[in-house]
């Protein structure tokens, strides 16, 4: 990651971290998920330009990136703050799960900047998505992507 990208990534991570510490109870069960939003976004961007990822998978990755940055989505950050990243994280996990079922997992791990194991994290997000964002929204996301 070049310096400019690193600066943006660190700035985003710090903003999310500050928001979580000020706005959410420290025991909020979704805080850890919100805190990984910058790491997930970074991963999507890196994978979308990786030569080892097929163009078909890149289209899905770009769709997840577009969903992440769109001000209009199922839980808009502009209205609810960073808790609105929960649906973005669910979309990303859904698309990343599809990707890791067809590519070597080392490709995904190579670009992961987070602390947890990304493959375990994706499985955990998928398993908890209906509780995290609600079953109706989760089903809608799965039908969209």
Q: Which domain holds residue 130?
A: 3-144
pLDDT of residue 10: 72
pLDDT at 26 over 70: no
Four-point Cα dihedral 24, 19, 12, 56, nearest 10: 30
> What is the mean pLDDT of the segment spanning 92-103?
95
**Could you give the CA distance from residue 65 to residue 76 in angstroms, rounded to a whole number?**
14
| Domain tally, the chain | 1
pLDDT of residue 125: 96
| pLDDT tens figures, 60-79 | 999 999 998 888 888 887 78
pLDDT of residue 3: 60
For the chain, the average pLDDT equals 87
| pLDDT tens figures, 109-144 | 999 988 899 999 999 999 999 999 998 888 888 888
pLDDT of residue 17: 79
> What is the mean pLDDT of the segment spanning 41-66?
95
- Residue 39 neighbours by CB distance under 10 Å: 21
Cβ(87)–Cβ(141) below 8 Å: yes
pLDDT at 7 over 80: no
Q: Which two tokens stand for residue 99?
A: 């990707």
Q: For residue 77, which of 87, 85, 88 has the smallest C-alpha distance?
A: 85
CB neighbour burial string for 56-77, b if at least 16 within 10 angstroms, e if fewer: ebeebbbbbbebbeeeebbbeb
CB burial of residue 124 (10 Å; 0-12, 13-18, 19+): middle
pLDDT of residue 41: 92
pLDDT at 5 over 60: no
């Amino acid at each position: 990651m070049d310096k400019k990208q690193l600066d943006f990534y660190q700035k985003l991570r710090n903003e999310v971290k500050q928001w979580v510490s000020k706005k959410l109870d420290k025991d909020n069960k979704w805080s850890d998920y919100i805190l990984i939003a910058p790491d997930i976004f970074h991963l999507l961007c890196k994978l979308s330009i990786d030569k080892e990822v097929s163009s078909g998978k890149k289209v899905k990755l770009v769709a997840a990136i577009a969903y992440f940055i769109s001000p209009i989505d199922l839980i808009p950050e502009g209205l609810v703050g960073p808790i609105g990243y929960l649906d973005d994280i669910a979309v990303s996990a859904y698309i990343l799960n599809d990707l890791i079922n067809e590519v070597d997992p080392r490709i995904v791990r190579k670009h992961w900047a987070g602390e947890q194991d990304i493959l375990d994290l994706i499985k955990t997000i998928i398993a908890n998505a209906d509780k995290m964002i609600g079953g109706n929204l989760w089903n809608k996301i799965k039908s969209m992507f």
